[in-house]
Structure 1
Amino acid sequence: MTEEDKKLLSTFEARLRHLMYLHDELRRENAEMKQLLGKKEEEVAKLRSNYNELEIAYANLKVAKTISITDCEVKDTKQRLSKLVREVDKCIALLNE
């Protein structure tokens, strides 16, 4: 082997070692990213579950609010109608006299 071949072989070995080092670094980084992705996916699943629960609670609250408003309105309407009926009865009584 000539001196030039030894130098080329040495350069090749150095570059190959550097390439192997970079490969190992990328493998570690990939493993970290996969682990981080798994955690984020779990977090997203929990947030979606929480969001769905909140949507259901909000829908229930809207229904309850609608019912409670309707109950109050029904009471008020009944009172107004009763008052009107009494007034009509008074008018009829006055007309009958």
Structure 2
Amino acid sequence: MCNEGMAAMGGLSEIVDSLEGRLDELYKKMLELQKQNSELESKISRSEAAMKKQSDEIAALQQQNESLRIANSLLGSDDNKRETKLKINSLIREIDFCIAQLSE
């Protein structure tokens, strides 16, 4: 009976050792995944910042392009003359509307 008890204890000890080994492996894997997650979050932040910068640059270039097209048409370019006239007329209407509201 003593031998059976010892064998059971030995089997239990092996199971505990095996579980400890697996837990140790899982803990190391968890730390590795946490590190990867942190690196990915950092990469996402950098990518979002780069996208915002590019978006701002695009908006600035679009505004610059619009200004250059208007300047071209004012300098006599026939390509955008009609569009510039429409823009000027629109601005004049806005100014007239503002003056009318101030007069009331």
Please give the range of the TM-score, normalised by the shorter of the 2 chains: 0.7 to 0.9
Hey, which bits of structure 1, 4+ residues long, moved more than 4 A?
none
- The residue that corresponds to 1:94 in the other structure is none
- The residue that corresponds to 1:92 in the other structure is none
CA displacement at 1:4 relative to structure 2: 1.7
Task: Go from structure 1 to structure 2 and tell me whether the alpha carbon gap of 1:16 and 1:52 turns closer, same or farther (over 3 Å shift).
Answer: same
CA displacement at 1:2 relative to structure 2: 2.1
The amino acid that maps onto 1:42 is S
Structure 2 gaps, min length 5 = 82-104
CA displacement at 1:77 relative to structure 2: 6.4
2:60 equivalent to 1:34: no
- The residue that corresponds to 1:46 in the other structure is 46
- TM-score, normalising length from structure 2? 0.68
In structure 2, how many angstroms separate the alpha carbons of the residues matched to 1:5 and 1:70? 96
- The residue that corresponds to 2:16 in the other structure is 16
CA displacement at 1:75 relative to structure 2: 2.4
Question: Where do 1:46-65 residues align within 5 Å?
Answer: 46-65=46-65
Task: State the superposition RMSD in angstroms.
Answer: 1.9
The amino acid that maps onto 1:45 is S
CA displacement at 1:5 relative to structure 2: 1.6
The amino acid that maps onto 1:67 is S
Identical aligned residues as a percent: 13
Q: Please state whether the residue corresponding to 1:76 is helix, strand or coil.
A: coil
| Relative contact order higher in (CA < 8 Å, ≥ 6 apart) | 2
CA displacement at 1:76 relative to structure 2: 2.6
- Choose 1 or 2 for highest CA Rg: 1
